[in-house]
Amino acid sequence: MSTSPLSPPPDPVAVPVAPLDLSTPQRLHIVGVGGPGMSAIAIALAEMGHRVSGSDIREQPVLDRVRAAGVDVHVGHDRAHVEGCDAVTSSTAVPATNVELRHAVDLGIPTLRRAGMLASICAMARTVAVAGTHGKTTTTSMLMLSLAEGGMRPGFVVGGDVTDAGTGAQWTGSEWFVVEADESDGTHVELPLFGTIVTNLEVDHLDHYGTFERYLESFERYLATIPGPKVLCADDERCAALAARFGGITYGLAESAEFRAVDVVAASGAFTFTVEHRGTSLGTVHLPMRGVHNVINATGVIAMASELGVPFVAVAAALARFGGVARRFDVRGVDGGATFVDDYAHLPTEIRAVLAGARGSGDGWKRVIAVFQPNRFNRMSRISREYADAFVDADVVVLTEIYASGTTPIPGVTGQLVVDAVLERHPETRLVWLPRREDMISFLAGEVGEGDVCISMGCGDIATLPDEVLDRRQVLRIQAVGDTFPGPSGTGTARGVTAT
């Protein structure tokens, strides 16, 4: 494949056709409704007016929100749940052997994977998507709020909860719809879209594509089907080449970008910058987020919103109020002058961006402590060495064992591969390898001090780590006080644990 600007664009490709007509009320069932992607689908379908049910193997907090949208939720799988349905859908994580999916097939009920149902929703409006390796959820959320500020009232399906909306999905009945186009299983090429933002293209999801070339080829097919604005990041060389080939609009920090962020200044966890369009200043933006990567994401949103006719002042107003997305530099607590943050970053570029954002945020943190849980055995078997430079902005690095995410263990593939990659490149790094969760909690509870920021990163169960460390610190304080003051016998000893 070639992404050279001199390569001719491919012949026009027809826009994908949605497999299900949602223009009339349907009886729909969702297997695995508690997953982040499927819960958003369920909410959107219910708000469209369809009769929706769903099932999952366990009770979890997100199901209350799904129920509130009018979805009939069942805990546990049963053949009876699909009887009388017009269609059944599930994520790729649900095996075809699932009792509900098998019964639906036996009854002749159409079964769709998430991509097919999302495509059917997208076909009901003029849909603009955000695709790319990194930054999709945040950029999609910014775009949705910016179009709303411009009076377009878009519906949306996003891969995380938008703080300002309190949900990851909504159907408004508007002409416009905004969606996060996930490439991990090829969903992006199945969606009937009007326009797109592509943030960047880097090595990932080789378990699905096999090679990086095939991954890139999927984005060629993706762009070839889109009739409206194609907005691509000029700072990413692959995106820039595809923009030249497909007549795209570019954005970023690069001098070549048509929409360019300049005079970027960080202070107190926020950025102020000016946006130029082909050399002409559009105005100044205040963005209450850390990380230059989010300045770039916001510039892409400004480019797309401008192409759709939304005034710059409306977009700037929306960005100035942007409250972020769950698990994107999510401050989970401040304890004894120490700040604990959770972030979804799990690829090398994402980790570098998060840590650089913390280092240059203007918050004045004394130390940046990075905690990382690698994800997926097949991913680590291929790209573990690419983490070598991911932690250069951290003062302390804590690495733990790989979170499987449904993948099969591979002999010799452990979190130690990331440890070796980092120390081989940066032997001076203060790195702690703690494969056991309990050891990690204990270490962090004592290590993180006043003025530090502790950032735990990954897309597995690392999400609960900040709360576990905060709880442990509280226990240590209680123990310290209890051991200092006399007990019933009138004696007491101090164990040397000092409350922070």
Tell me the Cα Rg of the chain. Answer: 24
**Alpha-carbon distance 155 to 143, whole Å?**
11
Res. 484: pLDDT tops 90: no
Q: Which fold has domain 27-116?
A: Rossmann fold (3.40.50)
DSSP 12: P
Cα first-last separation, the chain: 57
Any idea which architecture 330-481 has in CATH? Alpha-Beta Complex (3.90)
pTM for the whole structure:
0.75
Find out whether 417 and 380 touch, Cβ atoms under 8 Å: yes
Rounded average pLDDT over 230-258: 97
**Alpha-carbon distance 306 to 318, whole Å?**
14
CATH class held by domain 125-320: alpha beta
Res. 277: pLDDT tops 70: yes
Task: Please report the pLDDT score of residue 4 as a whole number.
Answer: 37
> Looking at the DSSP assignment, which residues form a beta bridge with residue 333?
340
What are the start-end ranges of the H helices in 123-185?
136-149
Find out whether 71 and 62 touch, Cβ atoms under 8 Å: no
Length of the chain as a residue count: 500
Question: Tens digits of per-residue pLDDT, 442-451?
Answer: 999 999 999 9
- pLDDT, the chain, mean: 89
Res. 491: pLDDT tops 50: no
Task: Please report the pLDDT score of residue 92 as a whole number.
Answer: 79
Question: Tens digits of per-residue pLDDT, 336-394?
Answer: 999 999 998 888 988 998 999 888 877 889 999 999 999 989 889 988 999 999 999 99
Q: What are phi and psi of 41, to 5 degrees?
A: -60, -45
Q: Supply 326's token pair.
A: 């769950």
Give the domain ranges of the chain.
27-116, 125-320, 330-481
Q: Tell me the pLDDT band of 407, cut-offs 50, 70 and 90.
A: confident
Q: Supply 85's token pair.
A: 């349905």
Task: Please report the pLDDT score of residue 253 as a whole number.
Answer: 97
Task: Please report the pLDDT score of residue 174 as a whole number.
Answer: 95
**Alpha-carbon distance 129 to 176, whole Å?**
11
